[in-house]
A and B are shown apart, each in its own frame.
Chain A
């Protein structure tokens, strides 16, 4: 039995989508590297655009594909590989960074949309050799095994405390549930958040 079929590997047409989205998005947030940004970006989103990202207190000017996510900008263009890609779909939390005080999944945030905002990654948490209390708490409570989800867990945990969601074990469990740990260090993560919370609240 056989039948002929013809199909695209995906029905989602990213270029068409980007062309539409780009008109609204690009001129607002980026200075494109080409002469007429609006036109060029709409025609071919692969043409590099210039964007300045402020990461861990430092400005960095990049020439990147307009579709580059914050995650890929950090990892592929800035050498900041601490933030991890676990799904690229906003489903796992491995890529969590802080934008301002908010925790965001950097795989679903376009670099262009983050221009002018303060981005904090796992690399920016410690002060010199002095670990952030959350980092120390993760060590003390063995809150990781393979460590791949850990940068995302820690960034999420810092925000979880600052949001006021670390008041009880149930709250911590609930508000840390956007970060998957396949090694399943969960109870130790809860213990770590509990340990670090008072220090962080003190400032």
Chain B
């Protein structure tokens, strides 16, 4: 066992090395733009230099003179596509803004032309030679810009169902012994996965193959088919490896159908590799948010009143919002709760999911406020959480299926050395460096979606698992292989896994941290179907009743019981009894409380996730506690975060190695969000300013000296057959507040606006 592959504790799988490790270290893993195409033409995008207005005219003469140019597609001869429909309104797209449809420009960096050429170099040059004249209108950039409109989220976004409330907040707050009112801001951020937003489209007759990094191959396949007006069975999306997702590839972007349509017209495969800066405007982003938190407590620290008001920016046509009050109003025991979420419409591209979309901004606000309250109460912030810990969420009174929040705090505090902290701000230093310790809670809803799988087992134990899941770096291949190996009792090396192809049985979007729970539950179920057939073959004297039960698929029989048990199978004997060489089973699994149309929706690329607070009579979350040491230089105000420590509990840990890596990456993401990341918007032009890796700051190795991840043992039998809670989005949540709480402890200065940079420090 090494640090990277921790010893499994109770209810943890083996820390097996990644299934896709060798192809990834040898350069043989084929990402979308690595796929070979037969004499492709290259596409290069031209994007809008204004955020609002219209294209008056193009001068393409100069561009057309570039040797090798095949075509330049503008709205004047744009592809005829069916309207984009949002995934939240029964469609597939993350935006309804359709480029190349008209001269109208709705946001900075909108696609206004596509140059097609024989080489990448020619396409790029011609794109630089396209001259555009615009009629520009002054755009509204963000909060406080003239011309924005604001309205409550409820009623305009079908996925935002309620502003949670309980008791009488106003009265309780008024009567509270200790009160806190504070406002918090979070910035625009961009996912910036390492792999660019590439798309290759190749037609074979009237069948289309798309190579594109996607977190939802079924959604993309159905969405592109709908836009092109063709049968979804004629579209295939292939991406066995995805170079990071973080939410940016969950919903369809307009580029795919555009490239597909051009490829069809030119009768030639087309390869598009957009630039890094184009990725800032042709996909989605985390929108900026604002919060006001009011907390009322008794002198002994019990919360009596909590109000969370949030505002989020979205585009003019689309009411995207994350609405994190669903989580923050339920995290602690409190009898009087109120909340409100509003959406502010500006001239921007439509935002979308980015790693822990609701939790990152909303928990930053709440967990900062809890720290401020602890200061007012002169109480240890860990103790304040303990006093308000709860087994039931306060809004509907539903029980948490399991909740190891305080166990996480205790483990992480011990590992971090929290007891060494002197509570007074500015009381710890090392030479020129002020030292601060801070902590915060983290949580993420446990979600599941309907999923299918096909498993094929041979007499010699060789196994093939097919499921249209996604390997975006989470370890999907590995844990799916482990699940099948474990259920079928075959060695891990004998299992082959196929994901990332829309021809495979459908799996949900790789989003909302549902993949492990959903795909592994489906694979377990299908493996048990195989086991049942084999056990049955070895029970030749089955009663008529049992046979009838199995035919209809209701009730228990000795074979179904054996299949579901941990009883091992002698494969050779079982196959001989069955008289077959191969057993193949397909099955469709759906979680408890899944809507009736789940399976139908699953095949047509619609997501039906359930979980978190939306379960009928329970609430399911993964929890963790995060501790940060910051050092702030007394003179230069430079801020460093030398130590990040997190303890997490997330039900069954399928593989402690891949789980730890995801949580480690999450902690670093959280630090980055707190100290580095912000997309700057020019308020006059509503354009992104720092749209590249030199100016949009993400951590490099030197920024990350010390990270410790502690995995807690937790068993939860009330969530899904795999017993797993998603953890990919768990670790980057609490870190935001933990960093700011540590900066307060180091400097005495409370910073309520992210990211915190040295110019914000005033010591």
Q: Is B122's beta carbon under 8 Å from chain A?
A: yes
A9 and B486 CA atoms in complex are apart in Å by 56
Q: Measured between C-beta atoms, what is the minimum distance from A16 to chain B in Å? A: 11
- Name the one of B120, B133, B242, B704 contacting A146, with C-beta atoms under 8 angstroms: B242
Q: Is B423's beta carbon under 8 Å from chain A?
A: no
Q: Please state if A187 and B692 are interface contacts (CB–CB under 8 Å).
A: no
What 1/0 mask marks residues of chain A from 93 to 118 whose CB sits below 8 Å from any chain B CB?
01000000000000000000000000
The number of chain B residues touching the other chain, given as a range, is 35 or more
B700's nearest neighbour on chain A, judged by CB, is A177
Within 8 A of A (CB), among B128-144: 128-138
Interface stretch (choices B167-175, B435-443, B663-671): B663-671
B66's nearest neighbour on chain A, judged by CB, is A46
Would A1 and B137 be within 8 Å (CB), given that A14-B125, A146-B243 are in contact?
yes
Note all chain A residues with C-beta closer than 8 A to B25: 122, 131, 135-136, 138-139, 144, 150, 154
- Name the one of A6, A44, A75, A140 contacting B67, with C-beta atoms under 8 angstroms: A44
Q: Is A89's beta carbon under 8 Å from chain B?
A: yes
A75 and B699 CA atoms in complex are apart in Å by 27
Q: Please state if A86 and B195 are interface contacts (CB–CB under 8 Å).
A: yes
Would A177 and B194 be within 8 Å (CB), given that A7-B49, A145-B473 are in contact?
no
Note all chain A residues with C-beta closer than 8 A to B698: 180, 182
What 1/0 mask marks residues of chain B from 68 to 97 whose CB sits below 8 Å from any chain A CB?
100000000000000000000000000000
Note all chain A residues with C-beta closer than 8 A to B276: 86-89, 91
Q: Measured between C-beta atoms, what is the minimum distance from B232 to chain A in Å? A: 27
Q: Is A35's beta carbon under 8 Å from chain B?
A: no
Would A173 and B705 be within 8 Å (CB), given that A7-B134, A185-B665 are in contact?
yes
Within 8 A of A (CB), among B440-488: 471-475
A123 and B125 CA atoms in complex are apart in Å by 30
Q: Please state if A182 and B24 are interface contacts (CB–CB under 8 Å).
A: no
Q: Please state if B128 and A13 are interface contacts (CB–CB under 8 Å).
A: yes
- Name the one of A131, A143, A146 contacting B194, with C-beta atoms under 8 angstroms: A146
What 1/0 mask marks residues of chain B from 171 to 206 whose CB sits below 8 Å from any chain A CB?
000000000000000000000111110000000000
- Name the one of A5, A81, A142 contacting B27, with C-beta atoms under 8 angstroms: A81
Q: Please state if A65 and B121 are interface contacts (CB–CB under 8 Å).
A: yes
Q: Is B46's beta carbon under 8 Å from chain A?
A: yes
Most B-side CB within 10 Å, residue of A46, A173, A191: A46
Note all chain A residues with C-beta closer than 8 A to B33: 75, 81, 85
Q: Please state if B125 and A148 are interface contacts (CB–CB under 8 Å).
A: no
Note all chain B residues with C-beta closer than 8 A to A121: 27
Q: Measured between C-beta atoms, what is the minimum distance from B42 to chain A in Å? A: 8
Note all chain B residues with C-beta closer than 8 A to A172: 701
Number of A residues with CB within 8 Å of any CB on chain B: 81
B34's nearest neighbour on chain A, judged by CB, is A81
Note all chain A residues with C-beta closer than 8 A to B244: 145-146, 148, 182-183
Q: Please state if A9 and B137 are interface contacts (CB–CB under 8 Å).
A: no
B670's nearest neighbour on chain A, judged by CB, is A184
B657's nearest neighbour on chain A, judged by CB, is A142
Would A46 and B194 be within 8 Å (CB), given that A75-B34, A123-B26, A184-B668 are in contact?
no
Q: Please state if A84 and B661 are interface contacts (CB–CB under 8 Å).
A: no
Most B-side CB within 10 Å, residue of A67, A181, A191: A181
Q: Is B20's beta carbon under 8 Å from chain A?
A: yes
Note all chain A residues with C-beta closer than 8 A to B193: 146, 148, 182
- Name the one of B26, B245, B474, B664 contacting A82, with C-beta atoms under 8 angstroms: B26
What 1/0 mask marks residues of chain A from 115 to 134 whose CB sits below 8 Å from any chain B CB?
00000011101100001000
Within 8 A of A (CB), among B621-677: 657-658, 660-662, 664-665, 668-669, 672
Q: Please state if A92 and B194 are interface contacts (CB–CB under 8 Å).
A: yes
What 1/0 mask marks residues of chain A from 167 to 201 whose CB sits below 8 Å from any chain B CB?
00100111011111111111111110000000000
What 1/0 mask marks residues of chain B from 40 to 54 whose CB sits below 8 Å from any chain A CB?
000000110110010
A141 and B662 CA atoms in complex are apart in Å by 13
Work out how many contacts link A and B, with CB atoms closer than 8 A: 246
B194's nearest neighbour on chain A, judged by CB, is A148
Q: Please state if A188 and B702 are interface contacts (CB–CB under 8 Å).
A: no
Q: Please state if B125 and A46 are interface contacts (CB–CB under 8 Å).
A: yes
A145 and B242 CA atoms in complex are apart in Å by 10
Would A186 and B701 be within 8 Å (CB), given that A86-B276, A89-B694, A91-B694 are in contact?
yes
Most B-side CB within 10 Å, residue of A144, A174, A178: A144
A122 and B23 CA atoms in complex are apart in Å by 11
Q: Please state if B27 and A82 are interface contacts (CB–CB under 8 Å).
A: yes
- Name the one of B36, B132, B702 contacting A9, with C-beta atoms under 8 angstroms: B132
Most A-side CB within 10 Å, residue of B25, B196, B707: B25
Interface stretch (choices B1-9, B387-395, B409-417): B1-9
B120's nearest neighbour on chain A, judged by CB, is A72
Note all chain A residues with C-beta closer than 8 A to B11: none
- Name the one of A4, A46, A125 contacting B122, with C-beta atoms under 8 angstroms: A46
Q: Measured between C-beta atoms, what is the minimum distance from A131 to chain B in Å? A: 7
A144's nearest neighbour on chain B, judged by CB, is B24
Note all chain A residues with C-beta closer than 8 A to B273: 85
Q: Measured between C-beta atoms, what is the minimum distance from B39 to chain A in Å? A: 11
Q: Please state if A177 and B702 are interface contacts (CB–CB under 8 Å).
A: yes
Q: Is A149's beta carbon under 8 Å from chain B?
A: yes
Note all chain A residues with C-beta closer than 8 A to B29: 147
Q: Please state if A135 and B704 are interface contacts (CB–CB under 8 Å).
A: no
Within 8 A of A (CB), among B505-553: none
Note all chain A residues with C-beta closer than 8 A to B4: 140-143, 188, 191
Q: Measured between C-beta atoms, what is the minimum distance from B1 to chain A in Å? A: 11
Would A4 and B135 be within 8 Å (CB), given that A135-B25, A139-B18 are in contact?
yes
A12 and B127 CA atoms in complex are apart in Å by 12
Note all chain A residues with C-beta closer than 8 A to B699: 184, 186
Would A123 and B27 be within 8 Å (CB), given that A142-B17, A146-B472 are in contact?
yes
Would A139 and B36 be within 8 Å (CB), given that A6-B134, A9-B47 are in contact?
no
- Name the one of B128, B194, B662, B707 contacting A10, with C-beta atoms under 8 angstroms: B128
Would A187 and B707 be within 8 Å (CB), given that A141-B2, A147-B243 are in contact?
yes
Q: Please state if A84 and B243 are interface contacts (CB–CB under 8 Å).
A: yes
Note all chain B residues with C-beta closer than 8 A to A68: 119, 121
Within 8 A of B (CB), among A1-50: 1-10, 12-15, 44-47
- Name the one of A15, A84, A180 contacting B700, with C-beta atoms under 8 angstroms: A180
Q: Please state if B692 and A180 are interface contacts (CB–CB under 8 Å).
A: no
Q: Measured between C-beta atoms, what is the minimum distance from A76 to chain B in Å? A: 7
Q: Please state if B134 and A46 are interface contacts (CB–CB under 8 Å).
A: no
Q: Please state if B704 and A8 are interface contacts (CB–CB under 8 Å).
A: no
Q: Please state if B693 and A87 are interface contacts (CB–CB under 8 Å).
A: yes
Q: Is A203's beta carbon under 8 Å from chain B?
A: no
Q: Is A57's beta carbon under 8 Å from chain B?
A: no
Q: Is B21's beta carbon under 8 Å from chain A?
A: yes
A86 and B328 CA atoms in complex are apart in Å by 36
B25's nearest neighbour on chain A, judged by CB, is A135
Q: Measured between C-beta atoms, what is the minimum distance from A106 to chain B in Å? A: 13
B704's nearest neighbour on chain A, judged by CB, is A186
- Name the one of B2, B133, B275, B664 contacting A140, with C-beta atoms under 8 angstroms: B2
Q: Please state if A131 and B132 are interface contacts (CB–CB under 8 Å).
A: no
Would A188 and B661 be within 8 Å (CB), given that A7-B132, A146-B193 are in contact?
yes
Residues of A within 8 A of B (CB): 1-10, 12-15, 44-47, 65, 67-68, 72, 75-76, 79-89, 91-92, 94, 121-123, 125-126, 131, 135-136, 138-151, 154, 169, 172-174, 176-191
Q: Can you offer 7 A-B residue contacts whose CB atoms are under 8 A?
A: A1-B137, A2-B135, A5-B136, A46-B122, A76-B120, A183-B244, A186-B700
Q: Given A5-B134, A174-B701, list of 10 further CB < 8 A pairs?
A: A1-B138, A2-B53, A46-B66, A84-B195, A123-B28, A135-B26, A141-B2, A148-B194, A176-B701, A183-B194
- The 5 A-B pairs with the shortest beta carbon distances in the complex, nearest first, are A82-B27, A148-B243, A146-B473, A145-B473, A147-B24
Residues of B within 8 A of A (CB): 2-5, 17-18, 20-31, 33-34, 36, 46-47, 49-50, 53, 56, 66-68, 119-122, 124-125, 127-138, 192-196, 241-246, 273, 275-276, 471-475, 657-658, 660-662, 664-665, 668-669, 672, 692-694, 698-707
